[in-house]
Homo-oligomer: A and B are copies of this chain.
Amino acid sequence: MGTTKTDLFNAEQNDLASMLKALAHPARIAILQHLAKAESCICGDLVQELGLAQPTISQHLKELKTAGFIKGTVEGVSVCYCINIPVWEQCKTVLDRLLR
């Protein structure tokens, strides 16, 4: 137990659920907002902006990246993150299709 019974549901339902789960945390929403506002990408700044420790931010970034919502490019010693628009659009489309 404690595990979601994914085999009971179809791919669309499971995919949408995991996309939404990736967004369903205030820190990850705050990260997306910051990336949207900053236009270009940032990284260590997020640790400053939100009050969370560096490993925590790194973990949230990883979840957003795994879900496809952001992309990260190594820029020398730092990493530059930015929003992955197509995935975002697709998420909204699927969500829209849900209730109509």
Interface residues of A (CB under 8 A from B): 4-6, 8-9, 13-14, 16-18, 20-21, 23-30, 32-33, 36, 50-52, 83, 88, 92, 95-96, 98-100
Contact = CB atoms under 8 A, between A and B. Distances in A.
Given A95-B92, A99-B32, A9 B24 contact: no
A98 B21 CA distance: 16
Q: By DSSP majority rule, is chain A's interface helix, strand, loop, or mixed?
A: helix
A51 B21 contact: no
A32 B92 contact: no
Contacts of A24: 17-18, 20-21, 23-24
Contacts of A17: 23-26, 28-29
